[in-house]
Chains A and B, each alone.
Chain A
Amino acid sequence: MKIGIMSFAHHHGEAYIQNLRANPGVELVGVADNESDRGKRIAEQHGTQFFQTYNSLIDAGPDGVIICSENNQHRPLVELAAAGGIHVLCEKPIAATVLDARAIVNACNQANVILMTAFPMRFSTPLMEVKSRIDSGELGEIYCFSATNQGELPKKHRDWFVDKDSAGGGALMDHTVHLVDIMRWYLASEVREVYAQTNKIFHAEEVEVETGSLELITFEDGRFASIDSSWSRPQYWPSWGGLAFEMITERGAIIVDAFRQNLTIYRKDLGRAGWAYWGSDANQAMVDEFINAIQDNRQPAVTGYDGLKAVEVVEAAYRSAEGGQPVSLPLE
């Protein structure tokens, strides 16, 4: 199974190299990046081939590619891969707009290639455990969620994360989609309505996009959930952020912290405590699923359609934040 990586605009791309290498069925054919200095450096570091253009990587005939570009570059790269009959694992959010997300899904459907959205939380072992407890009936009916996916300002990884054009937005765009996807998965229901409030108090001088974001979403069956996707973790917090929620059911509450499995290490070099994660690597399980889906010629556990549905919620949230009232889905 030959896999390539397109763009390292998203820093996850380097982690995916490790994940691909850890899968014995995979041959990393090489990487391409429009920022050739960055691409060459990473290719050298990991001992893989650097392709000067995305087209030349496609011509090398990979079975699948992982796309880690800026959000607004997902569409042209997915369309290029799909046109070449190559399966796609696309970084989240699958696009910055519903328009692009639909085009991405359609392009892959028409080309009959697999489109998987990089939603690693679907492969988080604590979150999978909760899913199986829901499905077993042990927890009874689910009523609502209070959820957080807060982070630090991601600018330290890449500048484009805080650029309105490249990313499509700020904290709301960056972190809402994971929890929306988890809730759609748990509830097997679609979002009907979205309310959002945003602000820019954190890093007000540094960025133009929103850094504070709270949403309250309602599903078709009336169940509801709040999502805090703020970039509210300071850089001196023990980790980058986290994903956690309280789920209220007819039996009470389940409180889940997907990144709780860590050591606290008090480090002289940092001058503070840090959290070192020892839980299972969800990215590995996600990449393995992509490979298995290609191998078995089937849909992956999380698809491009799931990515599109999450982007719809994000776009509705921006409209609500602007208008001050909840916004109904589907969008007009």
Chain B
Amino acid sequence: MKVGIVGVGFMGMTHAQAWSETEAQIGGIIAETESEAQALAARYGAIVYPNLEAMLPNVDVVDICTPTHTHYEMVIVAASQGKDIICEKPLARAVEQAKEMINTCRKYGVQLFVAHVVRFFPEYKLAKDAIDEGQIGRPGVLRLSRGSFRPKKPVGNWFLDEAKSGGILMDLMIHDFDYARWIAGEVKTIFAKKVSSGNPDAPIDYGLAILKHENGAISHISGAWAYPPPTFRTHIEIAGDAGLIEFDSDATAPITSLLQSRESDSQDVGLPSSPLSESPYTTQIKEFYAALQGHKSARVSAADGLAAVQIAEGALDSARLGKAIELENLAEVRS
């Protein structure tokens, strides 16, 4: 199986590393400019292609690690060429696009996976398993939070362009929207607020959302691009009628460094890190790889990706309109 990776930012590089731990071959790499792709291509013996059209005939699977607003067009093109696809989250910038992506993939009989990597983090998976086993009874109130610093980019910072990324509610909080839905099921209504500082000396974005699930559970989701680099922290609290699960990334860090400070550059985006024998990104790619070969199904589907985009879009609408948004049943999700 030959994989073509589109995008060489943090996610493209991470996926390339993950693919290298499978039997698949990284056949091609595309970046905005060919020179940006050279280093990664050299490391994995891949060919640099100038664009998607040039790469598609030479690969079996396309792994799309580009900014959110570009996912739609690339998926449509790759699907129409009969290629299986892995797409970074959010699946698309808009619900209508995500629906069309799924339907196009169905039409051409290709597989589409969305990289909601949080489902592959062991702490999140273990909590899900514990709940499925009934360890805390029926979940009633979920609290999920995720916080870091505002993403930096030397040029063209698409993260901060809400038209491209959907901002903090879609780009960051979609992780926990997806997870809340994984735990407590379909979401009926959402109410959200967000603040984005326009002051360049105060790089702060923060979002809050309350979800009501169809089964009666309620979820509180918060997302922060507000902390000083290199902070990245996550928190889970799931209260059930027969128990409570808590997770705090700071409290469970096995190593705390209190080193005399030395000036150092932090990375462009905040990243989770806990020492593990296998990166969750690798676990994810391995599972998609097995699913592509028909060996086993993946724990997250394109329909899940669409549902997460729908929740995030509802959050954006709610924050803009100041009212609670009722989410409609999507045939692509329910079927």
A contact residues vs B (CB 8 Å cutoff)? 140-141, 143-144, 146, 148, 193, 195, 197-199, 201-204, 211-212, 214-216, 218, 223-224, 226, 228, 230, 232-234, 237, 246, 248-253, 324-326
Segment of B7-15, B110-118, B222-230 engaged in the interface with chain A: B222-230
Q: Any chain A CB within 8 A of the CB of B95? A: no
Closest to A140 in B: B202
Closest to A228 in B: B220
Q: Any chain A CB within 8 A of the CB of B199? A: yes
Which residues of chain B in 226-264 are interfacial with respect to chain A, using CB atoms and an 8 Å cutoff? 226-228, 239-241, 243-244
Which residue among A146, A204, A234 has the maximum number of chain B CB atoms within 10 Å of its CB? A146
Q: Any chain A CB within 8 A of the CB of B77? A: no
From known contacts A201-B138, A214-B141, A216-B191, infer whether A252 and B204 are also in contact, taking CB-CB under 8 Å: yes
Closest to A237 in B: B244
In the complex, what residues of A have CB within 8 A of residue B143's CB?
A: 148, 228
Q: Any chain A CB within 8 A of the CB of B218? A: yes
In the complex, what residues of A have CB within 8 A of residue B201's CB?
A: 250
Which residues of chain B in 145-195 are interfacial with respect to chain A, using CB atoms and an 8 Å cutoff? 145, 147, 189, 191, 193, 195
Determine whether the beta carbon of B323 is less than 8 Å from that of A325. Answer: yes
In the complex, what residues of B have CB within 8 A of residue A224's CB?
A: 193, 195, 208
Determine whether the beta carbon of B193 is less than 8 Å from that of A232. Answer: no
**Scoring B residues 208 to 220 as 1 if CB is less than 8 Å from chain A, else 0, what string do you get?**
1010100011101
**Seed contacts A146-B222, A195-B191, A212-B239; 16 additional CB < 8 Å A-B pairs:** A141-B202, A144-B193, A199-B140, A201-B216, A211-B140, A212-B218, A216-B191, A223-B195, A230-B141, A234-B239, A252-B227, A252-B228, A253-B147, A324-B189, A326-B191, A326-B323
Closest to A201 in B: B140
**Quick one: which of B217, B240, B324 contacts A326, CB cutoff 8 A?**
B324
Q: Any chain A CB within 8 A of the CB of B322? A: yes
In the complex, what residues of B have CB within 8 A of residue A141's CB?
A: 202
From known contacts A197-B210, A248-B195, A252-B227, infer whether A226 and B220 are also in contact, taking CB-CB under 8 Å: yes
Q: 3 smallest A-B Cβ distances: which pairs?
A: A201-B140, A232-B239, A250-B202
Determine whether the beta carbon of A251 is less than 8 Å from that of B202. Answer: yes
Determine whether the beta carbon of B140 is less than 8 Å from that of A232. Answer: yes
CB distance from A139 to the nearest CB of B (A): 11
Determine whether the beta carbon of B193 is less than 8 Å from that of A216. Answer: yes
In the complex, what residues of B have CB within 8 A of residue A251's CB?
A: 202
Interface residues on B, range: 35 or more
Q: Any chain A CB within 8 A of the CB of B28? A: no
CB distance from B319 to the nearest CB of A (A): 10
In the complex, what residues of A have CB within 8 A of residue B216's CB?
A: 199, 201
Docked complex Cα distance between A144 and B187 (Å) = 25
In the complex, what residues of B have CB within 8 A of residue A195's CB?
A: 191, 210, 324
Docked complex Cα distance between A326 and B318 (Å) = 11
Q: Any chain A CB within 8 A of the CB of B197? A: yes
Docked complex Cα distance between A175 and B234 (Å) = 25
From known contacts A202-B239, A252-B228, infer whether A144 and B208 are also in contact, taking CB-CB under 8 Å: yes
In the complex, what residues of A have CB within 8 A of residue B217's CB?
A: 199, 201
Determine whether the beta carbon of A199 is less than 8 Å from that of B227. Answer: no
Docked complex Cα distance between A203 and B239 (Å) = 12
In the complex, what residues of A have CB within 8 A of residue B289's CB?
A: none
In the complex, what residues of B have CB within 8 A of residue A253's CB?
A: 147, 224, 226-227
Determine whether the beta carbon of A232 is less than 8 Å from that of B141. Answer: yes
In the complex, what residues of B have CB within 8 A of residue A215's CB?
A: 210
Determine whether the beta carbon of A199 is less than 8 Å from that of B202. Answer: no
Which residues of chain B in 106-148 are interfacial with respect to chain A, using CB atoms and an 8 Å cutoff? 138-141, 143, 145, 147
Q: Any chain A CB within 8 A of the CB of B49? A: no
Docked complex Cα distance between A250 and B196 (Å) = 10
Q: Any chain A CB within 8 A of the CB of B206? A: yes
8 examples of A-B residue contacts, CB within 8 angstroms: A197-B189, A197-B218, A201-B241, A212-B140, A226-B222, A249-B204, A250-B197, A326-B322
Closest to A324 in B: B324
CB distance from B250 to the nearest CB of A (A): 10
Determine whether the beta carbon of B204 is less than 8 Å from that of A248. Answer: yes
Determine whether the beta carbon of A230 is less than 8 Å from that of B239. Answer: yes
Docked complex Cα distance between A8 and B210 (Å) = 37
Docked complex Cα distance between A233 and B138 (Å) = 14
In the complex, what residues of A have CB within 8 A of residue B240's CB?
A: 201-202
